[in-house]
Amino acid sequence: MQLKIGARIMCAQTLTLGLGGALFGPLIMGAEQLGALLVFALMTLVTAFTLNPLLLPWICLRDLRQIADALEGLKRGNYAAPLPTAEQPHDPDDENELNRLKREILWMRRAIEQRERDIGSQAERIRALNAELRVEAVTDKLTGLYNARFFWERIADCFEQHHRTAEPFTFAILDIDHFKRINDTYGHLGGDRVLAQLAGILRADTRDSDVLARIGGEEFALILHRISPEDARARLARLRERLHRDPIRLDGDTRLRVTVSIGYTVVGECQPQTQFAPPRNPQEIVKRADDALYWIKANGRNGCIAWSELDPHYRRHRLALLHCDTRRPPCVSPPTGQDPRAPSEQPDEQRSTTSNPCPSKATTNASASTSTTSSAVSSG
């Protein structure tokens, strides 16, 4: 049976009176009755003041210190601080008040610890979901590459970094030739397989510092960092040749050989200012690579050309479309007998309608072959 605090105090007082009588009783035996009582009361009071500090830990101080230590540990997140408790009696009324308080503190500590574990696990799940959402927000589901949203963020960052550090970079757009023909021949599922496998080839041939994204149906964007214009040209040419050389497996024994057209521009390339001014924003960078790609698509496909290689009049005409917001006109083949690498000698007012400005350097190759087990399709 547990003694309550009131019972402990009564026991302490009884013990004090008993000790006072035992100690001072013989001293007052010969004194008068009134004086003896006064002396006995005084001696008993002295005994109480002397013994109460010794009995106080037994009454409540020890339990209070244990409770204080447990609460201090709880405040600091320490759920292992010792807090001894006596067994709960069958009759709750017989339980000591401090023991009941300690049991309530233990229950509260276990509940808080469990809730913190639950909150921690939920926070981990939320962080994992947020990480997945961040990846999904910038990833193209079909190819696993970055999507157009991430690409525009990165091209803007590269443009800003170029202005701060003057570090050049190359931006290229790759477009699968005759992709509509692939969809019409093999269906959209076949077209999806072509996109997914071509993305795998591109990913295997890019560095960790490069940015590869799918920005349209069959269009891919590639940002090359810390590379010279000559190395960028050679690398893009090798990439185009590899995509043309390695057939894509659709299903079973069906193989498909595709080609790509590549237009690119080098930001920070050393060129005379009389030829062209540097791009003023990321949209102009993309427009320049798109203009180069447009020329390749209109002049045989399966090629790679830089925007700086295009005829200056063609560049100015195409750049004007970015600011006037009009649709680009069709690219007409140059007249028979005219050197495709030289600008037209016609007057400026006739140039835009009767001639096609062409690059000074461009390599275009068209190839198409089909068989029972393999097909070669010039991509467009």
Q: What residues are labeled active site?
A: 218
Place of tokens 């461009």: 362
Cα separations in angstroms, 361 against 245, 316, 325, 358: 23, 18, 29, 9
The answer to whether 279 and 321 have CB atoms below 8 angstroms apart is no
Cα separations in angstroms, 3 against 7, 102, 104, 244: 6, 15, 18, 93
Alpha helices in 264-374 (DSSP H): 282-298, 312-324, 348-354
- Residue 262 burial by Cβ neighbours in a 10 Å radius (0-12, 13-18, 19+): buried
3-state secondary structure of 353: helix
**DSSP run (H or E) holding 171:** strand 169-176
147: left (phi over 0), alpha (psi -120 to 50) or beta: beta
CA atoms within 13 Å, Cβ hemisphere of 209: 7
